[in-house]
Homo-oligomer: A and B are copies of this chain.
Amino acid sequence: MPPIRRAATALAAALALFALPAAAEEVTTFSLENGMDVVVIEDHRAPVVVNMVWYRTGAADEAPGKSGIAHFLEHLLFQGTDDLAPGEFSKVVEDNGGTDNAFTSWDYTGYFQRVAADRLELMMKMEADRMVDLKITEEDVATEREVILEERNQRIENDPSALFGEDRRAAQWMNHPYGIPIIGWKHEMEGLTRQDAYDFYKLHYSPNNAILVVAGDVTPEAVKALAETYFGPLPANPEIKPRARPQEPPHRAAVHLDFEDPRISQPYVVRTYLAPERDAGAQEKAAALTFLAELLGGSPTSSLMGRMLQFDESLAVYSAAFYSGESLDDGQFGFYAVPVPGRSLEEAEADIDRVIETFMEEGVDMEAFERIKMQLRASEIYAKDSLQRLARRYGEGLTSGLTVEDIQAWPQVLQAVTPEDVMAAAREVLNPLNSVTGYATRPPEAAPAPEPASAPVAETVPDDLPVTEEISQ
């Protein structure tokens, strides 16, 4: 009994703490004359700074047949410029006690360093340099192409859940390039050239297609002065236009795919639906879908899926729902279920459908709804604790078509969601015609799979669960 009471007390305390809306962080935004946007997040708790340059370009902006070039170029940005030798960038960061990395997704490419606050000028100088003065040789390209191919081997070819995810995405998007993997199709990666990299660079890397996000122990005035010094002189590219990718036609057929791989130890089923993303000035539907995912398959102990499939009856060893809505174009709403041994994937799929039907009939569980609201407030507060996470939130949001105001309004938009909004979003999005259902199994003739390691579930849950899938350098 006592532990339960203590837990209850802790929950009460948490409820009191999170009852107040989280204060917005101190954010200043401005643009340089060449069109480069700057976001400064002040936080003077420690003498460190995170310096990020985000480009409004990613894998969904690649030319047909050139898949992987956005990510390949991200790698090549660590090669030399007119002022820096190949590899020198990261070495300078390291020599100054910092860390750096980069990442590519469908909608963005980002570069960052975390350094002592007094090294910010050096970071900006180097980022401005590689924005326009990249120098890559045929040899760099040949070497780095081997690196990205090996990266594909490791991340995708060696991981059946990643292969399965590629196939499901290709089926989900009939026309939009979100159906093409960020890292690229292997056969196209093999053909990427130095010219392809330069073409993409010239087309997309320019100050008016970039956002500088600086978070930490800095003042907006100091950042402005540095940005004007280093990025200010770079010319805007007049060819940069708002991104317009091919959009989806209406989906008229539910798609099912059977993926077999001898390395799959526990069969599982994934159902995804095309879903609206967060739109500038209109995030309400996305907010409702955020609740819907939590209500249906957030926590294994309190979500409807968890209760129906894992606790009330032991039908699944794992189940979850998710919503990925931070993107420029349509996102996804989805379900996973890993049935218990002996239960078929057909049965597991029927279980998912039963959860949806039950939800549609019974409506929103108000206790769960209020708990989720509180958890979302809490996660707001936790998010502020990480400089890097905060900086990323702005970089991701701005490269996904949102404004600073949208990003700051999001917590309130979430808090304003009503149960009726959730039901309306569910009715709209859970349309079988927009769905792809994938079965991942071992071929019947395959040898028994190796005994699952300590965490069998993690092994079977695809990589693409996170809201923003991306590849770090």
Q: Are B438 and A167 interface neighbours, CB within 8 A?
A: no
* Chain B CB within 8 A of A471 CB: no
Interface flags, A242-273, vs B, CB<8A=1, else 0:
00111101011111111111000000000000
Interface pair A258/B249, CB less than 8 Å apart: no
Which of B166, B177, B246, B256 is within 8 Å of A188, CB to CB?
A: B246
Q: What distance in Å separates the Cβ of A57 from its nearest Cβ neighbour in chain B? A: 15
**Which residue of chain B has its CB nearest to the CB of A64?**
B246
Which residues of B are found within 8 Å of A254, using beta-carbon distances?
257-258
Which of A179-187, A198-206, A233-241, A354-362 lies at the binding interface?
A: A179-187
Chain A 405-437 per-residue mask, 1 if CB under 8 angstroms from chain B, else 0: 000000000000000000000000000100000
Is the Cβ of A170 less than 8 Å from the Cβ of B174?
A: yes
A163 at interface, CB cutoff 8 A: yes
Across the interface, A257 reaches (CB within 8 A) one of B164, B187, B253, namely B253
A245:B64 contact, CB within 8 angstroms: yes
List of B residues within 8 angstroms of A260 by Cβ: 253
The interface centre, meaning the residue of A185, A246, A253, A432 with most chain B CB atoms within 10 A of its CB, is A253
When distances are taken between beta carbons in the complex, the residues of chain B under 8 Å from A186 are 249
Cβ–Cβ < 8 Å partners of A432 in chain B: 258
In this complex, how many residues of chain A approach chain B with their Cβ under 8 Å: the count is 36
Report the minimum CB–CB distance from A170 to chain B (whole Å). 4
Q: Contact at B64–A163, with CB atoms within 8 Å?
A: no
A177 to chain B, nearest CB (A): 7
Interface readout for A151-195 with B: 1 if CB under 8 Å, 0 if not? 000000000000110110011001101011000011110000000
Q: Which of B164, B245, B253 contacts A253 (CB 8 A)?
A: B164
Residues of B within 8 A of A252 (CB): 163-164, 167, 259, 261
Closest to A261 in B: B252
Residues of chain A touching chain B, judged by Cβ–Cβ distance below 8 Å, are 64-65, 67, 163-164, 166-167, 170-171, 174-175, 177, 179-180, 185-188, 244-247, 249, 251-261, 432, 438
Q: What are 18 A-B pairs at a CB distance below 8 A?
A: A65-B245, A65-B246, A67-B175, A67-B246, A164-B252, A164-B253, A167-B174, A167-B253, A171-B255, A175-B185, A187-B247, A188-B246, A252-B261, A255-B255, A255-B257, A256-B256, A256-B257, A258-B432
